Structure 1
Amino acid sequence: MFRIGEFSKLTQVSVRMLRYYDDAGLLKPERTDPQTGYRMYSAAQIPVLNRIIYLRDSGFGVAEIMEAVNSGDDKFIIRQLDKKYGEITGRIEEEQMRLERIKLAREELSYGGRMHYNVSIKSIPPCSVLSLRKVIPTYYAEGELWEELSVFAKSHKITVSEETFSIYHDTEYKERDVDVEICAPVDKPGRGTGAFSFRTVEEVPYMACTMVYGAFSNIAGAYAALAEWLQQNRLYRMTGQSRQIVHRGPWNEEIEEKYLTEIQIPCLTLTRCQGPE
């Protein structure tokens, strides 16, 4: 048996923390001397202490550590560790998004408050596509749709063009439950199955377009530039569903600063716009 100071030296854990674990009920001494009140520990308690430490260092709270240690089940602890891993990964992704917003804000301020986006009008011809349309939790889940479409195309031996694009069917921006249709141009139509369909995407005679370089977080600035352009060019009025084409993205470009995304907003000309402002 070892006194608390001796046990502290052998385990490289401070006396203060050992007392805290005792008070919290995580690691009670093997016995307490009835005459002196000294806490006495045994070597058999070292594996338990090590488990407490790595759970603590993994972000577990006292109640979570106690539940894991008291379970005496390594498989249960592994499941808890996997759960904690997922929670921490989610927080890291949220923090990375915040860092991207900070980076974007700094870039915009460096450009005098706004980055430059060139807006042009072009005609988009009709196009035969393999389509997958779903309501997804957020815009960030769009990648899962592309994975589904890729698997479907390969399994059905469908050749699709690399000039894929997304259509956003919501009439307003939504943070959740986003109505997205992804489209992959095809040489000839086939038979749709389930959520997959073959259709012709209609022609758009006047499409306001701008290119976005760099991270996807820059897209918000591009929409702001389109809004300003539309306000200054009263000959055009936005209508229909906006589109997005990722010419260079995570699947074909390793450097985020080299991503290239095209934003498209369909328009009517003033001569075709009817009704009051």
Structure 2
Amino acid sequence: MFKIGEFSKLANVSIRALRHYDKIGLLIPEQINKETNYRNYSAQQLQTINKIQKLKEVGLSLTVIKEILTSNDEATTIQSHLAIRELELNEELQKIKQQNQILENSRLFLKEDSKKLNYHVIQKEIPKRYVASIRDVIPNYSNEGVLWEKLYQILMMNNITFAKEPYNLAIFHDDSYQESNVDVEVQVAVQMSHPNTEITFKEAPAVQVASVIITGNYEQMTAVTETIAMWLENHHYQLNGPMFNMYHVSIATESNPQNWVTEACFPIKEQTSEI
């Protein structure tokens, strides 16, 4: 038998941890002197404490470890929990990779921070046009491509002729930012309609906008909205409807994000006296 201090040294585990394991019933000393309350451990318990430490190293909680050690089929229970832990680690790894990508994007963004207000704001009118449109609530903004694929597939199947200037627009109809279930409409200018109930044909009215041309990926959008907000205040305009993106060069025709050309458009009107 080994006193708790001796066992602590042999197991490379602190006395405090051993007392905690005893308290929660994870590793109870082989003998406890009723008079002195001294705890004594056996050599065989070194195998148990080493197993506990190994299971802790892979991230299993003490509650799970206790379940394993008290199981009628320890080997099967270990394998089951290790499989679950492997799935958890893979999910954590994916999150770390995503965070690393965000970190890299942020580094590039901050590197260009001094240039972010150099975007040129254009006040212009998007003319009245006849459009084919699909509007739906999609899981998140990254699913916008699903709407475009559906719209173009239907148009091509029905031989719909595009207008000379297609005005490929994605309109974001939500009144505020949504993390999920976003209300998005995609539309393209066409020369004629078709009695197809899956998409809507309509006349889109002319709209005055403040717009900014973005070359490259959409990580710049935060800086663009800052620029637009400052422009609105300085020129005494206010927003007048949902913002939309007009795609001049997009993933549909160009796989390299650095070559994308997007026009972020914000409908505007002159500021009223109440604002």
Q: Taking structure 2 as the reference length, what is the TM-score of the superposition?
A: 0.63
Q: Secondary structure at the match of 1:264?
A: strand
Match of 1:249 in 2: 250
Match of 2:241 in 1: 240
- Partner amino acid for 2:201? F
Alignment of 1:145 onto 2:147:
yes
Of 72, 82, 105, the match for 1:62: 82
Shift of residue 177 of structure 1? 1.4
Q: Secondary structure at the match of 2:108?
A: helix
Shift of residue 218 of structure 1? 1.8
Shift of residue 237 of structure 1? 1.4
- Partner amino acid for 2:82? V
Of 227, 230, 241, the match for 1:228: 230
Shift of residue 213 of structure 1? 1.9
- Partner amino acid for 2:75? G
Alignment of 1:189 onto 2:193:
yes
Q: Secondary structure at the match of 1:25?
A: helix
Deviations 1:111-168 (A, max 9, x none): 3445231111011111111100001111111111111112211222223355311111
Match of 2:204 in 1: 201
Please tell me whether the aligned partners of residues 160 and 192 of structure 2 are also in contact (alpha carbons under 8 angstroms): no
Cα distance 1:111–1:268, how it changes in 2: closer, same or farther (>3 A)? same
Shift of residue 190 of structure 1? 2.5
RMSD: 3.3
Deviations 1:197-220 (A, max 9, x none): 10111111x210001122122222
Of 49, 64, 75, the match for 1:25: 75
Q: How does 1:46-61 map to 2 (within 5 A)?
A: none
Q: Distance in 2 between matches of 1:98 and 1:215?
A: 18
Structure 1 spans left out of the alignment, 5+ residues: 1-15, 29-51, 53-59, 66-83
Across the two proteins, how many residue pairs are aligned to each other? Answer: 204
Shift of residue 249 of structure 1? 2.2
Q: Distance in 2 between matches of 1:107 and 1:225?
A: 18
Match of 2:173 in 1: 169
Shift of residue 189 of structure 1? 2.4
Q: Distance in 2 between matches of 1:231 and 1:89?
A: 44
Alignment of 1:276 onto 2:274:
yes
Deviations 1:74-106 (A, max 9, x none): xxxxxxxxxx7xx969974x5565345323422
Match of 1:126 in 2: 128
Alignment of 1:110 onto 2:111:
yes
Cα distance 1:165–1:61, how it changes in 2: closer, same or farther (>3 A)? farther
- Partner amino acid for 2:153? V
Match of 1:155 in 2: 157
Q: Taking structure 1 as the reference length, what is the TM-score of the superposition?
A: 0.63
Q: Secondary structure at the match of 2:171?
A: strand
Cα distance 1:112–1:135, how it changes in 2: closer, same or farther (>3 A)? closer
Q: Distance in 1 between matches of 2:264 and 2:161?
A: 25
Q: Distance in 2 between matches of 1:184 and 1:212?
A: 20
Identical positions, percent: 24
